[in-house]
A = this chain, B = another copy of it.
Amino acid sequence: MIYFNSDYTEGCHPAILERLAETNMEQTPGYGEDGYCAGAAKLIKEACGAPEAAVHFLVGGTQTNVTVIASALKHHQGVLTAATGHINVHETGALEACGHKCLALPSLDGKLTAEQVAACVDAHYADESFEHTVQPKMVYISNPTELGTIYKKGELEKLYRVCREKGLYLFLDGARLGYGLACRENDMSLPDIARNTDVFYIGGTKVGALFGEAVVITNPELKTDFRYHIKQRGGMLAKGRLLGIQFETLFQENRYFEISAHAARLAEKLKDELTKTGVSFYVDSPTNQQFPILPDAMLEKLKENYTFSYQARVDETHSAVRFCTCWATKEEHVNALLNDIRALQ
């Protein structure tokens, strides 16, 4: 069985395991206050062109989303998100369990526009009963989105400008950030993201680490007391150095970007080749998640050898499914998949 159902099916980049083995019996302070975390934070700040940023390491995505958002908001405030946003649909109400409403906005491509945000905030304050609704205070976006789409630099700049004008924080969930930055349609760099958000994170779990997400906070208001929130939300890893070692390894020798580029290239190959054979797509994703629309009969056959995830029914005989590539995907597996699809057409 070949797994294309997600981008967290393997372990981690071998260099990480080597470093874990080398350092295994060292004694270090706990809770992220060791030298490896400091070293990783330094590399990340450099990569982001953000020497003043605060960098914290957490274990997983849901935990990170909850910790960042809950640390930023007061009880009466909520977060704007695309209706398809991970926080709105795939975290078992983790954010609501912290007391905050997801203010979901419709989106066909998983992205929010500056205009949507501005209109929503304006509508809130225009309502004479505005205190009877949750105050919008943060915008949550992901890049790439749940649908694989990405923000162009101009879009992000515009969105951030609106956020500042309206007094909202902008938070970018980068669980798959490497795959967004590495794709051919991307025109943004890490420093662009650091300059155009208040806080974002660089995903490790899906991009070469065993686990781990690196939160980069550039807005000073959001830096204060952040570690209390990590602890309160259960994200303060006792052996915090495990996160430091992983991110240090990923940000050395350009690894994070190289392994992302590998996944991006294979996804592009998959997309291009399927397009050539006449396959259409549920959404035009430029990144490592591809959503082809395929005949149900073909999907039944493909299931025998491949895992993929179901996205949506398109018509009576076709469904959209999701294939993911990742840092560990083998080109021969992509080739095999393409051949099998062609053979079944």
Contacts and interface: CB of A to CB of B under 8 A. Distances in A.
Given A9-B27, A12-B24, A134-B92, A211 B237 contact: yes
A146 to B, nearest CB: 12
Q: Which of A1, A62, A328 has the most CB of B within 10 A?
A: A62
Among A1, A210, A227, which residue has the most Cβ atoms of chain B within 10 A?
A210
B239 A211 contact: yes
Interface in A50-98: 59-63, 66-67, 70-71, 74-76, 78, 89-94, 96-98
B94 A135 contact: no
A134 B205 contact: no
Tell me the dominant secondary structure on chain A's binding face: loop
A81 to B, nearest CB: 13
A191 interface: no
B131 A76 contact: no
A253 interface: no
Interface size class of A (residues with CB under 8 A): 35 or more
Nearest to A58: B234
A133 B234 contact: no
A100 interface: yes
A11 interface: yes
Most buried by B among A70, A76, A90, A98: A76
B90 A101 contact: no
Interface in A1-58: 1-3, 5-6, 8-12, 14, 17, 20-21, 23-31
A295 interface: no
Nearest to A7: B238
Given A132-B92, A232-B91, A25 B8 contact: no
A98 B97 contact: yes
Given A60-B237, A234-B60, A10 B24 contact: yes
B11 A228 contact: no
A174 to B, nearest CB: 15
